[in-house]
Amino acid sequence: MFNVLTIPAFDDNYIWLIKDSQSSRCIVVDPGDATPVLEVIASQNLTIEAIIITHHHNDHIGGVEKLMMDNPETKIFSKEPLFDNANLVDEGDTIAFFDGRLSFKVWQVAGHTLDHVAYFNEQMLFCGDTLFSAGCGRVFEGTHQQMFDALSRLALLNEETKVYCAHEYTQNNLIFALHVDPHNMELINYIKRVSKARQQGLATIPTTIKCEKLINPFLRCDQPSLLNSVQNILAKPLTSGESLFKALRLYKDQF
């Protein structure tokens, strides 16, 4: 069994720690800040077996060097050689941990950045800044087509897969989602659940692929009701899911 611990960082980042219940080992995902990770490591007497990185932005890698100082045997996995001893991963790779008891497949999900990858199995998806609850990452280095393709691919994963994204953006994303998809009852009910969770100081992540397919406009670009709504808002025709996605993402950038 494996437990995923939530480590808040900065204003709204999440660092994920995957803890092996059969040993004192763990994996850290996207450690932008070492300090809160080291606190958890010390309090639970853990050893970091590996650090896995989704992309190169500093709020995802800023704590790596400090963590490596205290754990020099730790392996680093990333798409690009961000650190001297990085193990490079690419599309279609499988990486294994804890004596082979946990493994993740690797997909390229360029869009937010060109080096962005996602790590997943049937239970867990670590997707960095590609897919958020009720939203998706900004397109900084890639193209809108790349981001659309990446999200479409993630939407094909097992619906019960838990989605561990890297930011608590859910409430802000929901404001935009409701604006463009106002008659979506699944979305309206989700807003109520999220509101209650945040009032109690609880994280809204992980979400699930199933939930996101019901409420996330960026995964619903095949829905005629959303297409019609966005066409009316923007007062221009949209002829495909790809064009709807690009229009949504550009509109969200200015929202």
Which residues contribute to the annotated binding site for Zn(2+)? 55, 57, 59-60, 112, 129, 167
CB 209 within 8 A of CB 160: yes
Instruction: For residue 210, give both structure tokens.
Output: 């199933």
How far apart are the two ends of the chain, measured CA to CA in Å? Answer: 42
CB 246 within 8 A of CB 234: no
CA distance 176 to 159: 23
Binding-site sequence positions: 55, 57, 59-60, 112, 129, 167
Query: Tokens 């998809």 appear where?
Result: 181
Tell me: cis bond preceding 31? Omega within 30 of 0 counts.
no
Q: Of 107, 113, 104, whose CA–CA distance to 29 is shortest?
A: 104
Type of residue numbered 59: D
CA distance 215 to 229: 15
CA distance 179 to 60: 30
CB 218 within 8 A of CB 237: no
CB neighbours of residue 69 within 10 Å: 9
Element (H, E) at 47: strand 47-52
